[in-house]
Amino acid sequence: MSIDKWKQVLSKYLIELLIVAFGVFLGIYVSEWKSNNRLKNNTEKSFNYILMEIESNQKSLENSIQYHELIKANFGKTISKIDKSEVDKPYYGNKSFHVSRIENWNGVGLPNFETVSFEVAKINNVLHELDFDVVQQIARAYQQIETNQEFGNSVLKKLLETNSDTKIADIIGIVEMMTSDVLISEKNLNTVLLDTIKYLNDYKARH
């Protein structure tokens, strides 16, 4: 084979090799671009869902705060009518006090928190695409939600676990906890959620 012929064959194979290599490179680039674009879209969706979820939680919390403030005011009026000699008597069957006598009483009234969007974002590993400060703010809000929820549930559990040995004083203590410690916890959480909502909306406006 002459040198010219050999050069032609070599050029042909080289061109074919370059075409194949370019095709592979293009395929990888397109696949990576689609993957990055999908991750970006999922991150944006997750961020918006989390923001809406926090806003919904804040509204639910606000309703709970208003309810507990109302019960706190009405509870004071109710227990002022109870003779001190009655508080150590059994709660069930007594004629002196029952929580249903508290005006506007409608149970413990815990907020209905949702955490689905946050949990899905963690499972799909999209939170790491957001700025560290944003993730920190979101995580702090949900951590506070969990703490508040556990505290509220502990009060509800105390009420559900009452029995024939429960005294009037025990029930008064539970309601006092609901309208003091739980209420303070809710107000602190409300501040955190409002700050988080403002922070996330500002972040969204910048991006």
pLDDT (0 to 100) of residue 161: 94
Instruction: Classify residue 123: in a domain, yes or no.
Output: yes
Indicate whether 110 pLDDT > 90: yes
User: When comparing pLDDT for 110 and 32, which is higher?
Assistant: 110
Please give the structure tokens belonging to residue 174: 């539970």
pLDDT (0 to 100) of residue 40: 73
pLDDT (0 to 100) of residue 157: 94
Local confidence band at 148 (pLDDT 50, 70, 90 cut-offs): very high
pLDDT (0 to 100) of residue 83: 86
CA nearest neighbour of 53 among 204, 154, 197, 149 = 197
pLDDT digits (tens, 9 = 90+) for 182-195: 999 999 999 999 99
Local confidence band at 125 (pLDDT 50, 70, 90 cut-offs): confident
pLDDT (0 to 100) of residue 38: 65
Mean pLDDT of the chain: 87
pLDDT digits (tens, 9 = 90+) for 89-102: 999 988 888 899 99
Indicate whether 123 pLDDT > 80: yes
Local confidence band at 162 (pLDDT 50, 70, 90 cut-offs): very high
Range of the domain at 99: 42-206
Indicate whether 137 pLDDT > 90: yes
CB 166 within 8 A of CB 99: no
Angle between helices 181-206 and 132-160 (to 10 degrees): 160
Where b means 16+ CB within 10 Å and e means fewer, 135-146 reads eebbeebbebbe
pLDDT digits (tens, 9 = 90+) for 52-92: 999 999 999 999 999 999 999 999 888 888 888 889 999 99
Instruction: Classify residue 28: in a domain, yes or no.
Output: no
CA nearest neighbour of 62 among 157, 153, 193, 174 = 193
Instruction: Classify residue 61: in a domain, yes or no.
Output: yes
Instruction: Classify residue 6: in a domain, yes or no.
Output: no
Instruction: Classify residue 16: in a domain, yes or no.
Output: no
Instruction: Classify residue 8: in a domain, yes or no.
Output: no
- Tally of domains within the chain: 1
Instruction: Classify residue 145: in a domain, yes or no.
Output: yes
